[in-house]
Amino acid sequence: MKKLIAIVMALILTFSLFACSGKKSDDSEKIYTCTVSISCTVLLEEENYNNLTPEKQQMVPEDGIILAPMEVKFAEGDSAFDILQQVTRDNKIHLEFSESPLYESAYIEGINNLYELDCGDLSGWMIRINGEFPNYGSSNCFFEDGATVEWMYTCDLGQDVGDTID
């Protein structure tokens, strides 16, 4: 009987060791960095600013910068949306989004209480990564170490912030 108990204990100890050793430590994951910013400078243009209600005008920072460019750490597999959630949470910036099953991505509805359609039918939030506007949702935007990720408000489907519609 003692021999059986010893065998069972040895098996339990062996399985416990295998179970604990299967997962990599968080310390072993490679950490990357990117530069992230959030701006609504297009709303500083008189015509755009005047299209906003007074309550929304209060949401526009004097220089149009909601989050100045800052270096952010991220792990492999983090999307632009994951990083946006992180920086808005860490900097206490309001973020509202919805899941879009059609595109299998998050849709950014509002940042800093500035929402899509607040400045006309063509207004809302866009992302630019390393100078390029991706044609897919931020949950599907992945990039490499050192990337520049800019979130910007547009009043003209991106044409006013440098995007060209193809």
84-95 residue pLDDT tens: 999 999 999 999
* b/e burial code for range 55-71 (CB count within 10 A of at least 16 → b): ebeebbbeebebbeeee
Q: Which domains does the chain have, with CATH numbers?
A: 26-161 (2.170.130.30)
Please tell me which residue, 10 or 136, carries the higher pLDDT value: 136
Query: Which is nearest to 96 in space by CA: 78, 82, 114, 79?
Result: 114
- pLDDT tens sequence across 111-131: 999 999 999 999 999 999 999
Q: What is the pLDDT of residue 17?
A: 30
- pLDDT tens sequence across 68-86: 999 999 999 999 999 999 9
